[in-house]
Structure formats: C-alpha cells, structure tokens
Amino acid sequence: MNPVIAIGPILLLTLSSQLSLGTAPAAGAWAPVEHLPGVVDVAGPRADGRLVVSAGRNLFLLDRASGDLQPFATGAGGYPPLPGDEPYLAVSSGRIVPSTGCRFTRDDVFVIDQAPHRVWRISGGRANVFATVDGVDSLSGITFDDTGRFGNRLLVIGPSHGLTVVAAVDCRGVVTHVTDAAPAMEGGMVVAPASFGAFAGDLIAPDELSGLIRAVRPDGSTAVMAASGLPRGQDTGIEGLGFVPAGFTRGGTAYFADRSTPGNRYPGTGSLLSVDSATLVSNGVRDGDLLGATEGGARTVAVRCDASCLVTEVAQGPATAHGEGHLLVVADHPLPGAAPLPPAADLGAAARTQALLIRAGLAVLAGAGLAVLVIVLRRNRRRMS
C-alpha cells in the first residue's frame, strides 16, 4: 500500500490495494418480498428479530418470519416526515462508547435528515434531534461502528465542496470529524468486521460514480478497497453494502430497498427485495464476505479480501430495479463473530491535520497579502514625495 500526498492546503491520504476480478457464476436473482411505495432503506435486526424499514417518509417494523408489517413511531412526538429523498437509517446494537462510558440504547433508530445535516434518534417511539454535523452540504450515509476501531460511535458522511466529510458521533451526540477530505462516496455504508483482513474495522463506503468501494480508517486516511467491476455512474453504480454475518451460510436472507423512481432509467418496483442464503452460497458467498449492489438493476458482487481482494458477481435484481440504502444481510441463527477491536488512538487525526494545514495556508496568504499591501503603500508614498 502506497500513501499519496498533499494537494494544496488539504491533506489527502490515498492507499492503493491489489484488486482482482473473479469469474462470475450464473448470478442469483433478487425478488420482491414486500411492496412498499417509497422504500429507501432497511436496517436491523432489532432484539426482537424485526427489521426497521424506511418508506414513504415513514418507518415500519417488518417481521421476517410472518411478513407482518407494522407502522413504527407514528403519532405525536413520533418520526417526522423528513423532506429528503434518502433518509438512510441505522439501528443501535447497544454498544458502550469507551471514551464516554455511556451507551447507545439497544434498538434506538438513527436517521439522517439530509439538507439540515441533522441526525434524528427514535427511542421508544419518540423522535428528537440527536446531533447536527457542521461543514457539510448535506448528509448521505449512516452506520454504526460495531467493530470498535471508531470507539463504537455512530458514523455519518456528507459531501462538502466536492469531497466527503466523515464524522463520528458518540452516545451523547458529540460530533468528531474523522476527515473533511475523503473522496466521493455515499449510500449504504458499513464498518468491516474484525475478520476482514487488512481492512478490519475500517468504514467501507460505495461511490456510484466511479464504481469503487472505498475504506476510511479511524485516522481519516482512505484506500480503494476494490473496484466493483459493474456499471457505474449517477443512479447506476455501486450503492448498497453489507457484510455477511457468521452463520448466514446455514440459513438467512439478504435485503435491499428498490425505490419506485418514475421517469428514471431505472424506475424501480417500489419493493423491498430479498435473496436467500442458499442462492448466494451456491454462487460462492461465504460468511465474512462483503456484498455490494448497484443502484441500477441491483447487480450484486461479493468481495473477499485476503492478500488481495477478489470480486465476484453473485446476484442481480429486476432489470428496472432502483436500489437504495444498505444491503442488509441477516442470519437466521447467527454465530459469534470475531472479537471486537480496540478503539484507535488517532481518531480524527487527518481532520486535525487538515485544519492545521488550512490555517497555515490562510496565514501564508494573509502574510503575502499584507506584504503586497505594504509594497503598494511605499510605492505610493514615493510617488507623492
């Protein structure tokens, strides 16, 4: 892995990785499991096994076994109808944040409010603004760190002047910028488990425009983890990511939101899509793999990283699918995974370095401006004398 450089006053750390594309088997198929107009994301499972689904500016609880779908957090004080098109969400697993000693409450739901760049918390059916992230144009991704390198914090991202801000939010709503200059990325991001080789504990996020899957380390440095090898571009490229949990190969289901988007090249079906573990396993998927699906057509790859990262296409959706948000992979009978990793000591080091460089650059510019002003004033005095 080779670090690359500073551009102007902003430090960009980019690392390269070895990539290879596997031979694609006959891909399995995603199929609608629940018709939900406006469906945009799915998260969980909660302690009771139900999934949380965001659809049509509302939240729902989905029972995986029965298919029963119930409105969630409705009524006075409940979930507000957020104005953005992509209110992605994350469900807390109840982890303690070591730096604070407090804990995210199990099953609390966190949702991004895009334009106001706020994060809402829904706890016990009631909603409140949990945190506001500064320095971003909007918010475009959310996930929990359940591996530990980011201190078990909630992670959110948002675009800023062509780059991406990555922020970590603790259980008291305190926001720490991990980096203010990550490359472009948005959508259903996830933190890699401790078993995922060189990228263990990193934030893994997609970029639909380039088709790349990127990794962000706790210090804010970034790497290209893999190239999806799938079609790329606006509303087309890689969108949703999810890791295959331990025990999935013995039974389970993957889920992906297919939003109805009339007039788009990929108009969607307005459904929550699913594909079962048997189908994915028959195409080579194993516990611990990363799955990634495109926004256009829900074409899906599995990524396995050892000495290098092997990418293999394993499923595809309806040709008209318009995938959004996370690719959620749920085991029927989950097994214990690898032990959590210790928190990194250098959380946000890149953001602090970037801020110092920017301040230094501004000081240099201010000094140069003052020097020019002095020269001009002296020349004017000489002319007048």
pLDDT at residue 26 is higher than 60: no
pLDDT at 360: 62
Residue type (1 letter), 28: G
Among 164-168, 170-174, 320-324, 381-385, the minimum mean pLDDT is found in: 381-385
Q: Which CATH architecture has domain 19-345?
A: 6 Propeller (2.120)
Q: What's the pLDDT tens digit per position in 290-342?
A: 999 999 999 999 999 987 899 999 999 999 999 999 999 999 999 998 899 99
How many whole angstroms from its chain centre is CA 275?
A: 21
pLDDT at 377: 72
- Which structure tokens are listed for 117? 């760049």
Q: Are 257 and 50 in contact (CB under 8 A)?
A: no
Q: Are 214 and 7 in contact (CB under 8 A)?
A: no
pLDDT at residue 279 is higher than 70: yes
pLDDT at residue 244 is higher than 80: yes
CA distances from 286 to 183, 219, 231, 277, 317 (A): 29, 30, 24, 9, 20
Average pLDDT of the chain?
89
Average pLDDT on 164-191 reads 97
Sign of CA dihedral 155, 172, 83, 63: positive
Q: Are 105 and 91 in contact (CB under 8 A)?
A: no
Q: Are 136 and 113 in contact (CB under 8 A)?
A: no
Residue 37: phi, psi to the nearest 5? -55, 130
Please name which of 263, 273, 288 lies closest in space to residue 239, comparing C-alpha atoms. Answer: 273
pLDDT at residue 1 is higher than 80: no
pLDDT confidence bin for 271, thresholds 50/70/90: very high
* pTM: predicted TM-score of the whole model, two decimal places: 0.87
pLDDT at 362: 59
* Cα separation, 116 vs 137, whole angstroms: 9
